[in-house]
């Protein structure tokens, strides 16, 4: 392998505060990998960043077609970053279909880097181009750089011994190399990654390394790019960082919860997009004494978790919308038997099978109301990829403390999105207190703690505490079956009150901006970054707008009512037709307004700036 | 807390009075269970009874052990989660023909294939008792019930065949009115490693009275049942008759007639492949005696043992989980 | 058999406007039958009436125990009757356990008829009586009539050839005979019923007839009752009447809907209390070309109904709370594919298995919100046993007209309760218009009617219209799979708008009372009778209170907002912790107040009078 | 509207391009289906393809017939409702190993026992394709997948055994890469009355490439497969080998060796009891050739026929439903 040249001084270096790049190509083109590697290099270079992968629902849509296009967007900056960027400033395009479906998103006058080698007739046809857009002048308003990546990769690898298919697959490394050069990023992290990935395939490894280097060198030597860009390090909290996706953070949160509670963990799950990766990640950690169980369906997954909870294990289940619908009957059992199970819903586009690979926030009311009878379950939500870690810990803590199933809502956007994460100091994490009852004196299965209203958690195997529970209404003290009218009324209210008491654990709501003013924006879940950024921008323009972002959806924070009254208008942006807004309106009789978008995509900051702006 | 040196039947009776109809076959099954458990040498607190919904599924309330009366059809799934996470417990599933084979059919067969170490009692009364008399998946074709007043058009399941089709490692059949046999079968199930499935023929005297009369009535019992014993030929009717195979086709023969001796008879083999046990499951009245006993009992890898072995191996290889290490694995960078 | 004597003139006849009688005894005592037969006789005698059966959850709880008590209450009057009565004026008690559990409900100074024969030591013990209440003076404040029904029945049947058990079973007929005499009712209807029921068992028939007659004669001849009562015919609309339970009316509504639509019907169901009787009833009507299918579970039941709807059949599914939870994923498919299925939820006490034999209204929000994604489904509710017929027709009509699944909510109270029903003139029932598309020209599966936004219903088997549908998001015109962002947004809003447009079919809301005033009581479902009666009583006392009762819960009636504004206070009584009230508050920002009761029992009129009274 | 005199393969191709991965075994199955359907003499508009969720379940989109891509695991239930209410249609169910046997296992076995007149294709690739590579209920014990990185601990189902345990009336196995055999099997299934179940061994070249290689590879095919034909002995390896029964235990023998002739071999009987067919289903590599073909094909009462017969009988007895009569039956009274 050739020695890696140090980045020599480029023709000219332009400093910019932030940039959004989108890599797009065929699903077979390896755009996700390209994006992830670029992200890694960017993170290590000290920028703040957010990413957004967007891939087709099909496993492998036919090559070159419009539905086969896969994309990865990264937004990085020397300032704090909360979203993956509204529109790409730079679009790296690997084939005509990718150009066709993505060009409309590129900012006016943006930079377009095109792999001309893929703009051959068959591909143009598949993408529905009658004439080649590279030659008909339709790209005139962009800074277009034409690079025959296909051919350049072939040239670089002509002696590599790789076959045509393998060479074709290395194109993405060439493109990556070029982009790394353009933003002054080192190639080492990727080289390291390649070495690990292809440790058993030295030919492929060498080929990929060569392609990467060739792309990098091409950037440096070609006349093409007159300039490289520098995005300075962001001034972020010191400490050790890593990139993390929401699903990873959730999985690690689950493992952390078992450590912090000191008991074994159990996951009952059934694969479903976009939640499966949590199952995958947790299946790797058998040495934690963690049992992950791929059940025969979602019902069994939830039921197995209930069984584990009954056994005194910290139990979780993960799924997405349709799977959650199936779990609801069993969730009712968990709440009736007052057993702690954390139910994680990585929300996706609905209804029904809907848009499995797209994001949405439309399962909030399902979480709160989707069971028969009066069946209160606490609901919390995570607001960013890394926040999934904290939110998972919080969910586990509430479940155990209040002896109740707890819903944690994340969504496809934050589950797959990646951001740098200040790795928490493990020693500073608050323990999750678990106490199993062992004293048989005066034992009654449904006796309650006076503060939390939680009943005791009893592990089978404890002598003298043998007892029976089930889904029929239970006597308020003994937990035995009771058909008594008054008892039922008492129990229904007790269960409601227990969940309501969680309010005592909710810290004061933090307001972004002034504590009073014209507009209060109330958000929840994965829209945090877009709302936060939009409100910051509006405030910078002098608008009297503030925002709060809710972790707790059921119960709502106790101070929220007062808070909302300090603003003339309350606005609730949601990626649904208005679900939180219904809760706010009915709970506080406030004429909260909705901003809705149900396109399987996150809010853009600009969208929110303009739509919130209408209320200022 | 210490466990009493020797438990008695009484120790397993809870303070709740059974609320089955007077005369219901469930009483006997409960009594045999309470009789057998003290002999297992397992502390009372280590027993858990998990059930679904149905008359049969009220069973756990009457056992003075840990118990979980769950939701319709889901007991196997709940018990699986419990057993996986608590291999130290002795977990029993009690279910009905509707609970196990109608709404719960899927969990039932998956439990079998996984060979989860659960003891499973299916009270087969060929009817929905608790909901007052609809046909169940074991009701006969043509059965008239509240929901099938012109007769059921669904061919019934044979619970044993369903279990065997799912490669069950232990499959047995017993009868509510045969306390001794039932006790012996419960004991065998208790000692089996893996899923031990017992179909208990049970009389619902309110909605399907006499469903098993044709084989349990004193007068016909001997000729209508054949007791299975491993390694023994299939002899019944007080030693006068037997079951012989003609090619693949079983037939009933009279011993001593046409020179037929015990040597000609089908010899029961608990260890055979599922198809062999299924052949026995296919023996049905009126042309054949109904086999009672253990149809199949083989050892195959037990679910939680495989799981625990993986956990142990992982621990051996990687040590116990370390949160700090986990979070710092892979690419990290330090901002100072 | 002896000839039946004509009722001779009793000692004295007292005319009363209304009376509530409750029959109570062991589950084995046949109280339900006694109640039903008394009801039949009362209806035929021309009273208005309502009934309320209340039996144990166990099939047969052990004889003589408290949980084994079974009861049947009837309220009849010469005035219109809307509830089965708050408290019995007369309590007919067959054993000590029944006395123990029911005495507290008897009105002060009420009439108590006791079967002394059952007050033996073992029974007293089982009921938890240390001393015999018949002898310790504890019943002094009631008009107690002691009758040894056990012995009198034995005497009457001593030569009948029946064994002791059979004789014991005939006790209820003796009691019935006595009560029929007491209220001047003929025995013929019951005699007719017995003849049919025991047509193949002449001994039992004769025994029962004898016991009935003996009871009747005993009333007449014994010195015991100084007086009989007469409740005059009610002035009710002329026409042919019958008694009907809610479940019967629902089943017949389903059959009627198939007739009125002119297409075959299909029921996919799975037994569950208290909905099973609808399945039972429909299974008897094969000659209607009606297919009823007991599926392997609720999911399959719903799915089979969807399959039938796809095939062009009028499809229904029936269940109760836990079963409905299981159906929700599939209901999402029905709404995505826009197929008409009526989902009937006979609500019972929840959550989880809850109180299966008790009534509740706590599945409203589950119906509206209990699915993943934005998944609007119209929801309507029936308000009385006979109203189930009309409500079922309305549900079927909406389903077909708007091509959508529709929820119909009834509850255990009206499902098992019985009331006289003015049998509708079949010819006057409005047809349900069904049009299957057959024209292949310009066919697009998701093209819509401009008024209803319904798509065409196409029967497989129609040439030229072959098409594919499914649970993935669909193109707004072709119905093909579409991952397009804008299309998704459009479709989500279209589905919401389609359901919202049902408002155009909702007739003006009828107000009981003045169209403005102090208090508007808003109710829904099976509480109609209690609310109506309570409001009538309050109005009679001069209170400015009115009420409306909602058939349509989603969408709400369009005039409801204006209507509520005409009252100072809006009060919403519900047998839950406040579900409709949440909808009213969030939709109309009205500070509606809740009256809740979650005891597995209906409201009493007196309860509502006092609790609504607090707002007047 | 008239049906074209003779339909062609093209008539069954929809305007949607298949979106399976290049090289996926599903393409061949689609092609064979489209080849076979024109020969059935059924108008195109009378076909309905119902599927669940999975790569396999996208099948209906590519068929120019009526089609319903439903939800995960529920196709049998939806198809049952469709067939019961529309017996005139030819209803096909397309499903995967996860769809049919994991989440959908219960509907699957109930469809079998009822003998609903549905043609069922299970694409068995021993993996979850659409969700990108988790183990399925047919994955081998020890299989490493995304969700079982240390190897699956769940013993797999044998789909044929599960079906036979539920008393399936028609059970067959075919292979994606054997177009002729697949076509013939599809034809037989189409003509069977009742539930016709075909397990199609299918290659998922992305997540489980080569799962069936050991029996489909050209070089081993002949010795690794034995084609079942009714009434014919089990001969394979180009006529050189056969399967014989030793008591109950099947064994591979070489023809001509030790005097073994075709007469000694096991003769296939499609009409036998389920246990007999299950014995064949138990034959597995490497010690046995894998049987391909129709394992069982018996006639037993067909669900919708029983249903229709009841409807007709009821009509005969009671006439068609009359709403007025219904509402006025029983006790009524007139208020005037
Ligand atoms: C989800 C759900 N569906 C339906 C029911 C109603 N249900 C309770 S028990 C039962 C059937 C019981 O039959 P089986 O399992 O044979 O028990 P048995 O009463 O005969 O012992 C049904 C349908 C329920 N409780 N939950
Ligand atoms: C209720 C529900 N749970 C889970 C999923 C996710 N899911 C879709 S397909 C599938 C498995 C597919 O496997 P298989 O049936 O073998 O089909 P293949 O893709 O291999 O053809 C799963 C788990 C879903 N769509 N719906
Ligand atoms: S209904 Fe039948 S099964 Fe249930 S308790 Fe009564 S007799 Fe037993
Ligand atoms: S993932 Fe596998 S089964 Fe799915 S389309 Fe691709 S190759 Fe076929
Ligand atoms: Mg049963
Ligand atoms: Mg598969």
Indicate the fold that domain B9-211 takes in CATH. Rossmann fold (3.40.50)
What length is written for chain B?
A: 336
B38-B40-B43-B46 Cα dihedral, nearest 10 degrees: -120
B96 lines ligand 3 (CB under 6 A): no
Q: Which protein residue has the closest C-alpha to ligand 4 atom 5?
A: D20
- CB contact at 8 A, C224 and C145: yes
Q: In what order do the strands lie in the sheet with A69-77?
A: A48-54, A69-77, A18-26, A90-93, A111-115, A143-147
The answer to whether residue C269 scores a pLDDT higher than 50 is yes
pLDDT bracket for residue C2 (50, 70, 90): very low
| Number of neighbouring beta carbons within 10 Å of residue A370 | 26
Expressed in angstroms and rounded, the spacing between residue B27 Cα and the centre of ligand 3 is 10
Give the model's pLDDT for residue A222: 76
Which domains are present in chain A? Answer: 12-230 (3.40.920.10), 237-505 (3.40.50.970), 517-613 (3.40.50.920)
* C-alpha Rg value of chain A to the nearest Å: 27
> Ligand 4 pocket by C-beta < 6 Å: which residues?
A 59-60; D 20-21, 24, 26, 55, 125, 129, 204-207
Q: State what percent of residues in chain D have pLDDT above 70.
A: 99
The encoded tokens of residue C483 equal 């991952």
Q: Give the pLDDT confidence of C446-455 residue by residue, as tens digits.
A: 999 999 999 9
A118 DSSP assignment = G
Give the model's pLDDT for residue A399: 98
The answer to whether residue A7 scores a pLDDT higher than 70 is no
The secondary element (H helix, E strand) that includes residue D245 is strand D241-246
Cα distance between residue B160 and residue B154, in whole Å: 18
Contacts of A344 (CB under 8 A, 6+ apart): A250, A275, A278, A316, A317, A318, A319, A392, A395, A407, A408, A409, A410
The answer to whether residue C68 scores a pLDDT higher than 80 is yes
- CB contact at 8 A, C569 and C516: no
Q: Could you tell me where the DSSP H helices lie in D166-302?
A: 179-191, 213-216, 218-224, 274-281
Q: Which protein residue has the closest C-alpha to ligand 2 atom 11?
A: D128
Q: Helix A298-310 vs helix A321-337: angle between axes, to the nearest 10 degrees?
A: 30
Residue labelled with tokens 């279209």:
C494
CA-to-CA separations, A64 to D55, D59, D146, in angstroms, rounded: 20, 22, 28
| Number of neighbouring beta carbons within 10 Å of residue C248 | 23
Report the gap between the CA of A259 and the closest CA in chain B (Å): 8
Beta bridge partners of A572: A594
- CB contact at 8 A, C325 and A329: yes
Residue labelled with tokens 């893996």:
B194
| Averaged pLDDT for residues A182-203 | 91
Q: Which protein residue has the closest C-alpha to ligand 3 atom 2?
A: B204
Q: In what order do the strands lie in the sheet with A418-422?
A: A418-422, A239-245, B332-335
The encoded tokens of residue B31 equal 């009594």
Instruction: Look at residues D70, D66, D60, D55 and name the one whose alpha carbon lies nearest to residue D23.
Output: D55
Residue-range domain boundaries for chain D: 9-211
Give the model's pLDDT for residue A2: 36
Chains in contact with chain B (at least 3 beta-carbon pairs closer than 8 A):
A, C, D
The answer to whether residue A3 scores a pLDDT higher than 60 is no
Task: Measure the N-to-C terminal CA separation of chain A; round to a whole number of Å.
Answer: 60
Cα distance between residue A320 and residue A271, in whole Å: 9
The answer to whether residue C162 scores a pLDDT higher than 60 is yes
Optimal mutation site among A370, A372, A553, A582, interface C, most CBs of chain C within 10 A: A372
Q: Give the pLDDT confidence of A388-419 residue by residue, as tens digits.
A: 999 999 999 999 999 999 999 999 999 999 99
Give the model's pLDDT for residue D1: 46
Optimal mutation site among A278, A281, A284, A296, interface D, most CBs of chain D within 10 A: A296
Cα distance between residue C429 and residue C399, in whole Å: 17
State whether D45 and C289 contact (CB < 8 Å). Answer: no
Q: Give the pLDDT confidence of A523-582 residue by residue, as tens digits.
A: 999 999 999 999 999 999 999 999 999 999 999 999 999 999 999 999 999 999 999 999
Give the model's pLDDT for residue C44: 87
Instruction: Look at residues D78, D51, D49 and name the one whose alpha carbon lies nearest to residue D65.
Output: D49
- CB contact at 8 A, B65 and B94: no
Q: State what percent of residues in chain A have pLDDT above 70.
A: 97
Give the model's pLDDT for residue A11: 62
Q: Give the pLDDT confidence of C475-515 residue by residue, as tens digits.
A: 999 999 999 999 999 999 999 999 999 999 999 999 999 99
**Strand-strand pairing, D47-51 and D90-96:** parallel
Q: Give the pLDDT confidence of D144-156 residue by residue, as tens digits.
A: 999 999 999 999 9
Cα distance between residue B28 and residue B202, in whole Å: 9
State whether A276 and D73 contact (CB < 8 Å). Answer: no
Cα distance between residue B105 and residue A467, in whole Å: 28
The answer to whether residue C7 scores a pLDDT higher than 60 is no
Give the model's pLDDT for residue A55: 77
Poorest-pLDDT segment among A50-59, C19-28, D297-306: A50-59
User: Chain C partners of A471 at a C-beta cutoff of 8 Å?
Assistant: 352-354
| Averaged pLDDT for residues C268-279 | 98
Half-sphere exposure of C455 (CA within 13 A, CB side): 27
Between CA A600 and CA A610, with CA A604 as vertex, the angle to 5 degrees is: 125
The answer to whether residue C82 scores a pLDDT higher than 70 is yes
Give the model's pLDDT for residue A1: 34
Cα distance between residue A319 and residue A412, in whole Å: 11
CA-to-CA separations, B46 to A459, A466, C410, C616, in angstroms, rounded: 10, 9, 44, 60
Cα distance between residue A335 and residue A333, in whole Å: 5
pLDDT bracket for residue D335 (50, 70, 90): confident
The answer to whether residue A341 scores a pLDDT higher than 90 is yes
Expressed in angstroms and rounded, the spacing between residue C296 Cα and the centre of ligand 1 is 11
Give the model's pLDDT for residue A4: 43
Expressed in angstroms and rounded, the spacing between residue D100 Cα and the centre of ligand 6 is 9
- CB contact at 8 A, A267 and A316: yes
Beta bridge partners of D291: D226
Give the model's pLDDT for residue A59: 67
Q: Using a CB–CB cutoff of 8 Å, tell me whether A441 touches chain B.
A: no
Strands in chain B per DSSP E: 47-51, 66-69, 90-96, 119-124, 170-175, 196-201, 225-227, 235-236, 241-246, 249-254, 290-297, 332-335
Poorest-pLDDT segment among A249-253, C8-12, C430-434: C8-12
Q: Give the pLDDT confidence of D204-245 residue by residue, as tens digits.
A: 999 999 999 999 999 999 999 999 999 999 999 999 999 999
Chains in contact with chain C (at least 3 beta-carbon pairs closer than 8 A):
A, B, D
User: Chain C partners of D46 at a C-beta cutoff of 8 Å?
Assistant: 460-461
The answer to whether residue C398 scores a pLDDT higher than 90 is yes
Is the C-alpha dihedral spanning A413, A417, A419, A423 positive or negative?
A: positive
B131 lines ligand 3 (CB under 6 A): no
Q: Using a CB–CB cutoff of 8 Å, tell me whether C306 touches chain D.
A: yes
| Averaged pLDDT for residues C55-71 | 81
Contacts of C445 (CB under 8 A, 6+ apart): C455, C456, C458, C467, C469, C474, C478, C479
Secondary structure string (H, E, C) spanning A477-498: CCCCECCCHHHHHHHHHHHHHH
Give the model's pLDDT for residue B9: 96
Summary mean pLDDT of chain D: 95
A507, burial (CB in 10 Å: exposed 0-12, middle 13-18, buried 19+) = exposed
Give the model's pLDDT for residue B4: 52
| Averaged pLDDT for residues D120-125 | 98
Cα distance between residue D284 and residue D289, in whole Å: 6
Cα distance between residue C177 and residue C181, in whole Å: 6
Give the model's pLDDT for residue D232: 97
User: Per-block average pLDDT, block size 10, for chain B (336 residues)?
Assistant: 73 92 96 97 97 98 98 98 98 98 98 98 98 97 96 97 98 98 98 98 97 95 96 96 92 95 96 96 93 98 97 93 94 84
Instruction: Look at residues C29, C103, C93 and name the one whose alpha carbon lies nearest to residue C60.
Output: C29
| Averaged pLDDT for residues A87-101 | 96
- CB contact at 8 A, B200 and B174: yes
Cα distance between residue C111 and residue C145, in whole Å: 8
Q: Chain D residue with minimal CA distance to B113?
A: D155
The encoded tokens of residue D174 equal 């075919």
Q: Which atom of ligand 4 is nearest to the CA of D205?
A: 7
| Averaged pLDDT for residues A257-281 | 97
pLDDT bracket for residue C5 (50, 70, 90): very low
Instruction: Look at residues A11, A92, A84 and name the one whose alpha carbon lies nearest to residue A48.
Output: A84
| Averaged pLDDT for residues C147-158 | 95
Give the model's pLDDT for residue C67: 86
Instruction: Look at residues C405, C436, C372 and name the one whose alpha carbon lies nearest to residue C305.
Output: C405
A502 lines ligand 2 (CB under 6 A): no
**Strand-strand pairing, B235-236 and B241-246:** antiparallel
- CB contact at 8 A, A324 and A351: no
C60 lines ligand 3 (CB under 6 A): yes
Q: Which protein residue has the closest C-alpha to ligand 4 atom 8?
A: D24
The answer to whether residue D64 scores a pLDDT higher than 90 is yes
Give the model's pLDDT for residue C518: 98
Q: State what percent of residues in chain B have pLDDT above 70.
A: 99
Secondary-structure percent of chain C, ordered helix, strand, coil, rounded to 5: 40, 20, 40
B225 lines ligand 1 (CB under 6 A): no
The encoded tokens of residue A184 equal 């002054």
Cα distance between residue D251 and residue C254, in whole Å: 59
The answer to whether residue A373 scores a pLDDT higher than 90 is yes
């Amino acid at each position: 392998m050739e020695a890696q040249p140090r980045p020599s001084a480029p023709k000219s270096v332009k400093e910019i505060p932030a940039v959004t790049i989108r890599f797009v190509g065929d699903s077979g083109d390896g755009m996700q990998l390209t994006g992830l590697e670029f992200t890694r290099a960017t993170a290590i270079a000290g920028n703040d960043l957010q990413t957004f992968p967007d891939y087709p629902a099909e496993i492998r849509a036919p090559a070159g077609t419009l539905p086969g296009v896969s994309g990865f967007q990264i937004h990085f900056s020397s300032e704090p970053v909360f979203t993956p960027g509204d529109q790409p400033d730079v679009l790296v395009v690997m084939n005509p279909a990718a150009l066709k479906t993505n060009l409309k998103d590129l900012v006016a006058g943006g930079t377009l880097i095109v792999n001309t080698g893929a703009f051959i007739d068959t591909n143009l046809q598949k993408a529905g181009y009658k004439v080649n857009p590279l030659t008909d002048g339709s790209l005139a308003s962009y800074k277009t750089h034409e690079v025959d990546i296909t051919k350049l990769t072939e040239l670089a690898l002509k002696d590599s011994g790789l076959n045509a298919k393998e060479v074709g697959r290395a194109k993405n490394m060439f493109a990556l190399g070029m982009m790394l050069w353009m933003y002054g990023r080192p190639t080492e992290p990727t080289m390291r990654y390649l070495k690990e990935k292809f440790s058993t395939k030295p030919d492929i490894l060498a080929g990929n390394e060569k392609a990467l280097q060739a792309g990098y060198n091409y950037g440096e030597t070609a006349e093409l790019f007159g300039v490289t860009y520098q995005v300075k390090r962001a001034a972020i909290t010191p400490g050790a960082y890593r990139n993390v996706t929401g699903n990873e953070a959730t999985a690690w949160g689950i493992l952390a919860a078992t450590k912090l509670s000191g008991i074994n963990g159990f996951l009952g799950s059934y694969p479903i997009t976009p939640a499966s990766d949590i199952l995958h990640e947790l299946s790797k950690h058998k040495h934690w004494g963690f049992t992950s169980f791929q059940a025969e369906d979602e019902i069994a997954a939830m039921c197995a978790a209930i069984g584990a909870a009954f056994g005194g294990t910290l139990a979780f289940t993960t799924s997405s919308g349709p799977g959650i619908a199936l779990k609801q009957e069993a969730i009712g059992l968990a709440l009736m038997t007052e057993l702690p199970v954390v139910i994680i819903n990585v929300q996706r586009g609905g209804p029904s099978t809907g848009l499995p690979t797209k994001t949405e926030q439309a399962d909030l009311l399902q979480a709160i109301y989707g069971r028969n009878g009066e069946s209160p379950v606490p609901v919390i939500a995570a607001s960013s990829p890394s926040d999934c870690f904290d939110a998972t810990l919080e969910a586990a803590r509430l479940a155990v403390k209040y002896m109740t199933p707890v819903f944690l809502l994340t969504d496809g956007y934050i589950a797959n999105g990646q951001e740098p994460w200040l790795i928490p100091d493990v020693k500073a994490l608050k323990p999750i207190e678990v106490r199993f009852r062992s004293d048989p004196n005066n034992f009654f299965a449904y006796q309650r703690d006076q503060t939390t209203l939680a009943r005791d958690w009893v592990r089978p195997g404890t002598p003298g505490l043998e007892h029976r529970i089930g889904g029929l209404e239970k006597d308020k003290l003994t937990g035995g079956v009771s058909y008594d009218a008054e008892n039922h009324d008492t129990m229904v209210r007790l269960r409601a009150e227990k969940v309501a008491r969680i309010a005592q654990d909710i810290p004061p709501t933090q307001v972004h901006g002034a504590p009073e003013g014209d507009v209060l924006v109330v958000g929840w879940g994965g829209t945090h970054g877009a709302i936060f950024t939009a409100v910051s921008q509006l405030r910078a323009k002098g608008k009297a707008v503030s925002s709060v972002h809710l972790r707790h959806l059921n119960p709502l924070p106790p101070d929220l009512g007062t808070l909302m009254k300090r603003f003339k208008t309350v606005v609730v942006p949601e990626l649904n037709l208005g679900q939180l807004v219904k809760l706010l309106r009915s709970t506080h009789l406030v004429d909260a307004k909705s901003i809705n978008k149900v396109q399987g995509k996150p809010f853009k900051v600009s969208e929110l700036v303009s739509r919130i702006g209408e209320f200022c | 807390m210490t466990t009493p040196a020797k438990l008695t039947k009484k120790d397993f009776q809870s303070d709740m009075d059974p609320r089955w109809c007077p005369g219901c076959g469930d009483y006997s099954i409960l009594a045999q269970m309470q009789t057998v458990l003290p002999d297992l040498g397992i502390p009372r607190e280590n027993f858990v009874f998990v059930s679904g919904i149905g008359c049969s599924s009220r069973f756990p309330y009457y056992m003075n052990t840990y118990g979980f009366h769950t939701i319709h059809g889901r007991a196997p799934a709940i018990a699986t989660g419990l057993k996986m996470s608590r291999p130290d417990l002795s977990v029993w599933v009690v279910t009905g023909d509707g609970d196990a084979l109608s709404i719960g059919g899927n969990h039932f067969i998956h439990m079998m294939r996984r060979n989860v170490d659960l003891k499973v009692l299916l009270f087969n009364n060929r009817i929905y008792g608790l909901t007052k008399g609809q046909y169940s998946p074991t009701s006969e074709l043509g059965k008239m019930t509240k929901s099938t007043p012109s007769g059921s058009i669904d061919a019934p399941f044979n619970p044993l065949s369903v279990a065997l089709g799912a490669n069950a490692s232990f499959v047995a059949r017993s009868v509510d009115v045969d306390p001794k046999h039932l006790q012996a079968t419960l004991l065998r199930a208790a000692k089996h490693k893996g899923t031990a499935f017992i179909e208990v023929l049970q009389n619902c005297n309110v909605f399907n009275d006499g469903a098993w009369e044709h084989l349990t009535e004193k007068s016909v019992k001997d000729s209508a049942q054949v007791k299975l014993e491993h390694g023994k030929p299939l002899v019944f009717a007080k030693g006068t008759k037997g079951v012989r195979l003609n090619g693949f086709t079983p037939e009933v023969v009279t011993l001593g007639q046409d020179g037929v001796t015990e040597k000609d008879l089908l010899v029961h083999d608990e260890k055979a492949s599922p198809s062999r046990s299924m052949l026995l499951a296919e023996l049905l009245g009126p042309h054949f005696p109904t086999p009672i006993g253990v149809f199949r009992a083989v050892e195959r890898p037990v679910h939680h043992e495989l799981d625990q072995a993986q956990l142990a191996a992982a621990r051996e290889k990687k040590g116990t989980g370390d949160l700090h290490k986990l979070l710092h694995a892979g690419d990290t960078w330090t901002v100072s």
